[in-house]
Chain A
Amino acid sequence: MTTADAPAERQLVYTLAITEGVRQALQEDPLAFMAGEDIGEAGSVFGIYRGLYDEFGPDRVLDTPISESGIIGLAVGAGATGLKPIVDIMFMDFIGECMDEIVNQLAKMRYMFGGKATLPVTVLTMSGAGLNLAAQHSQSLEAWLCHTPGLKVVMPATAYDVKGAIITAAREPNPVFVVMCKGLMALPGDVPEEPYTLPIGKAKVVREGEGLTIVAHGRMIHEATKAADLLEADGVSVEVIDPLWLQPLDTETIINSVSKTHNALVVHEAVRFGGIGAEIAAQIAELSFDYLDAPVARVAAPFSPVPFSPVLEQSYVPNAERIATEAKRILGLG
């Protein structure tokens, strides 16, 4: 589903929407360049940057050595000195390699320097489980980033949003992580041909309803929508909200919804303990306690690494059935 101002005329799959977002970001700003591992001629292992090397050449689309710390450092240094870096960390799991550059340099430089530095850096990375890639290629680590003042984090779950998120991030004078979902790569959606942006920190009401608010992000937005269908069949009207931006978070849209529905369920693919859902649930409890008919509930991954075996991975990742079951429990329908 796209916002009203997006003319529904052309469909692109998620991966091609990524390519188009980066292409237009590079086209509109000669100071923008892209760097990452195997993003040049190979167009990334996910094929998401195919054609960009041919179009913009090796000075603007750079294959880097396997050096994640170096890649983020490159973005910090180049960003602080006038360029507009767009860098790729192939799998989100690999941010472990460059957490110092992210947390202690990229996020803090402006503040530490008394506002004298600007870090217009975009980091693109692919998250999520479901492809049997095991514990080091399947994680959803967005909470690590959201906990760090100085960073903005967007997690687009549609073709429309991923293109918009990339262009928004590229035009933004602050570091923005665009956390993409590898489970959505083949998902088609309406994508306008011209460049467009998303309002930073604005959630999307994906579906309106009266009896329950489900807040979900990333791939889980689609499971939440399916769960809403299941619940609708049982006579429950569900409002589904995609925060889209996890940092800054659109508290207002969430609170307004809960004040209307009186019930809240927060869903994500990352582990439950200390996940973004904990922050969202806390904000709901703080700000709309008087409206709640039941405690805020959460559906998320259990507290273990992502298991390899498909049978375990399926039971690990939340899905529509589990969301619907938990919704019924808090509504007293289970």
Chain B
Amino acid sequence: MANTSQAMEPSEEVLKDLHFRMVRIRHFEEEAGKLMEQGKSPGALHLYIGEEAVASGVMVHLSDNDQITSTHRGHGHLVAKGGEFKRMYAELFGRETGYNKGRGGSMHISNVDAGMLGANGIVAAGPPIAVGAAFSNKYLARIEGRDQMNVAVPFFGDGATNEGAFHEAANMAAVWKLPVVFVCENNGFGEFTRQEDHQAISDIADRAAGYGMPGVICDGMDAVAVWEAAGEAIERARNGEGPTLVECKTYRFVDHVGLSGIGLHYRTDEELEAWRARDPIEQHEKRLIELGVMTQDEVQAVHDAVMEDIAESIEFAENSPLPDPADLLNDVYTPTAAS
């Protein structure tokens, strides 16, 4: 377990920021899910509803110079990293104005300029890429003579920790003391398979010891708890003290794909309700109001502003141009510099 330095207290600004990011994710995802079910958003969307505290709690600590890698469930990570709704919906709709010019869609949505190295259709593809980014961060800090390093954060699920790629990445990050914070979103399932049926441990943080890095567990339904755990790990990474594995216990409120999914009964209503009762946004709003950081009206105003942004953004996306099939072969390769 990580040694606790002085306990961090979130400022009012941080508390509001956590709220704003979570609310943006929730509404973005709910609308995206509806659009998918109305057939307006093609392909498959894996929604982040219920897990908002994780992306938000981590991302508050990161700047555009820090990188993240994401998963198939990647919209929330991009939203929390400052993704613009216009360009995100445009991507989901396959438009030229989307973040990936419509080439990638939900499963590959990215914003390299802000250090968001892509959602990913391949489970556990992110951690090794994040290790590469962290290597780059350490290398560049050295040649530029900086003490503080940029940090790379791979997000990945409980299911992903059963892929060899995850183990290889964790080991490399530890042995080279790279600035990586491995953030496991343990939502208890890989698709429809319960964690207890896919691995013989319940705390994924236990694996950290096997790589020689600290492992921490936090309540992934509590944005402040995530913020705290991630903050400490990111600080260590920045200062050259090496990687940490942060496990966030969370739950997805909707199905594996879309809102209602394919109708398999793999979890009980009681279980779902018990987790919904710990809704990360409701819990956080209660805290904001109790602490006097925001009033109910101010909270509502955040929701309203986000919804307004969404409405405008969907309209923008719907009216955006489609890619031109004549450009199909663009961007397969980077043009070679003339010699």
Query: Which A residues fall within an 8 A CB radius of B?
Result: 37-38, 40-42, 45, 47, 63-70, 93-94, 96-97, 131-137, 302-305, 307-312, 314-316
A131, B44: Cα distance in complex, Å:
9
Whether A67 pairs with B163 at a CB distance below 8 angstroms is: yes
Q: Quick one: which of B131-164 are within 8 Å of A by CB?
A: 159-160, 162-164
Known: A133-B107, A135-B104. A66 touches B124 (CB 8 A): yes
Could you give, for residues 99-133 of chain B, a 1 whenever the CB lies within 8 Å of some chain A CB and a 0 otherwise?
A: 01011111110000000000011111000000000
**In the assembled complex, how far is the CB of residue A23 from the closest CB belonging to chain B, in whole angstroms?**
20
Whether A302 pairs with B329 at a CB distance below 8 angstroms is: yes
B322 within 8 A of A: yes
B191 within 8 A of A: yes
Interface segment, one of B13-21, B180-188, B192-200, B269-277: B192-200
**In the assembled complex, how far is the CB of residue B238 from the closest CB belonging to chain A, in whole angstroms?**
31
Whether A312 pairs with B266 at a CB distance below 8 angstroms is: no
Contact of A63 among B122, B198, B262 (CB under 8 A): B198
What chain B residues lie within 8 Å of A137 (beta carbons)? 44, 107, 121
Whether A65 pairs with B105 at a CB distance below 8 angstroms is: no
Interface of A is mostly: loop
A96, B122: Cα distance in complex, Å:
10
Q: Quick one: which of B276-291 are within 8 Å of A by CB?
A: none
B332 within 8 A of A: yes
Contact of B108 among A63, A136, A303, A315 (CB under 8 A): A136
B240 within 8 A of A: no
**In the assembled complex, how far is the CB of residue A64 from the closest CB belonging to chain B, in whole angstroms?**
8
A97, B165: Cα distance in complex, Å:
9
Whether A308 pairs with B163 at a CB distance below 8 angstroms is: no
* 23 contacting pairs across A/B (C-beta < 8 A): A41-B192, A63-B198, A64-B198, A65-B159, A66-B159, A67-B163, A70-B162, A97-B165, A132-B105, A133-B44, A133-B121, A134-B107, A135-B104, A135-B121, A136-B107, A136-B108, A137-B44, A302-B329, A303-B329, A307-B103, A308-B43, A309-B94, A311-B325
B190 within 8 A of A: yes
Whether A132 pairs with B42 at a CB distance below 8 angstroms is: yes
A240, B134: Cα distance in complex, Å:
54
The 6 closest A-B CB pairs, nearest first, are A309-B94, A136-B121, A308-B105, A65-B162, A309-B102, A132-B43
A157, B315: Cα distance in complex, Å:
41
**In the assembled complex, how far is the CB of residue A310 from the closest CB belonging to chain B, in whole angstroms?**
5
Whether B329 pairs with A304 at a CB distance below 8 angstroms is: yes
Known: A135-B104, A302-B329. A312 touches B94 (CB 8 A): yes
**In the assembled complex, how far is the CB of residue B318 from the closest CB belonging to chain A, in whole angstroms?**
14
What chain B residues lie within 8 Å of A66 (beta carbons)? 123-124, 159-160, 162-163, 190, 198
Whether B199 pairs with A65 at a CB distance below 8 angstroms is: yes
What chain B residues lie within 8 Å of A309 (beta carbons)? 94-95, 102-103, 105, 322-323
A334, B292: Cα distance in complex, Å:
76
- Residue of chain A at shortest CB distance from B122: A136
Contact of A45 among B102, B105, B122, B191 (CB under 8 A): B191
Indicate the member of A37, A47, A64, A94 with the most B CB atoms within 10 Å: A37
What chain A residues lie within 8 Å of B108 (beta carbons)? 134-136, 308
- Residue of chain A at shortest CB distance from B96: A309
Indicate the member of B42, B165, B329 with the most A CB atoms within 10 Å: B42
What chain A residues lie within 8 Å of B107 (beta carbons)? 133-134, 136-137, 308
**In the assembled complex, how far is the CB of residue A3 from the closest CB belonging to chain B, in whole angstroms?**
34
**In the assembled complex, how far is the CB of residue A34 from the closest CB belonging to chain B, in whole angstroms?**
15
What chain B residues lie within 8 Å of A314 (beta carbons)? 325
Q: Quick one: which of B31-73 are within 8 Å of A by CB?
A: 42-44
Whether B164 pairs with A94 at a CB distance below 8 angstroms is: no
A133, B46: Cα distance in complex, Å:
12
B338 within 8 A of A: no
Contact of B191 among A38, A67, A70, A303 (CB under 8 A): A38
- Residue of chain A at shortest CB distance from B105: A308
Whether B193 pairs with A133 at a CB distance below 8 angstroms is: no
What chain A residues lie within 8 Å of B332 (beta carbons)? 303-305
- Residue of chain A at shortest CB distance from B197: A63
Whether B192 pairs with A97 at a CB distance below 8 angstroms is: no
A93, B199: Cα distance in complex, Å:
24
Whether B102 pairs with A307 at a CB distance below 8 angstroms is: yes
B7 within 8 A of A: no
Give 19 new A-B contacts, CB below 8 A, not counting A135-B104, A136-B107.
Answer: A37-B190, A37-B193, A38-B193, A41-B192, A42-B264, A47-B262, A66-B123, A66-B160, A70-B162, A96-B122, A132-B43, A134-B108, A135-B108, A303-B329, A303-B332, A308-B100, A308-B104, A309-B102, A311-B323
A314, B322: Cα distance in complex, Å:
13
Whether A134 pairs with B104 at a CB distance below 8 angstroms is: yes
A40, B264: Cα distance in complex, Å:
12
Whether B43 pairs with A134 at a CB distance below 8 angstroms is: yes
**In the assembled complex, how far is the CB of residue B40 from the closest CB belonging to chain A, in whole angstroms?**
11
Contact of A42 among B100, B105, B191 (CB under 8 A): B191
- Residue of chain B at shortest CB distance from A307: B103
**In the assembled complex, how far is the CB of residue A66 from the closest CB belonging to chain B, in whole angstroms?**
5
B328 within 8 A of A: yes
What chain A residues lie within 8 Å of B325 (beta carbons)? 311-312, 314-315
Could you give, for residues 253-273 of chain B, a 1 whenever the CB lies within 8 Å of some chain A CB and a 0 otherwise?
A: 000000000101010000000
Known: A309-B94, A311-B323. A133 touches B43 (CB 8 A): yes
**In the assembled complex, how far is the CB of residue B176 from the closest CB belonging to chain A, in whole angstroms?**
23
**In the assembled complex, how far is the CB of residue B92 from the closest CB belonging to chain A, in whole angstroms?**
9
Q: Quick one: which of B193-243 are within 8 Å of A by CB?
A: 193, 197-199
Whether B190 pairs with A304 at a CB distance below 8 angstroms is: no
What chain B residues lie within 8 Å of A303 (beta carbons)? 329, 332
**In the assembled complex, how far is the CB of residue A38 from the closest CB belonging to chain B, in whole angstroms?**
5
- Residue of chain A at shortest CB distance from B94: A309
Indicate the member of A96, A136, A315 with the most B CB atoms within 10 Å: A136
A156, B108: Cα distance in complex, Å:
30
- Residue of chain B at shortest CB distance from A68: B163
A114, B329: Cα distance in complex, Å:
46
A316, B323: Cα distance in complex, Å:
13
**In the assembled complex, how far is the CB of residue B144 from the closest CB belonging to chain A, in whole angstroms?**
34
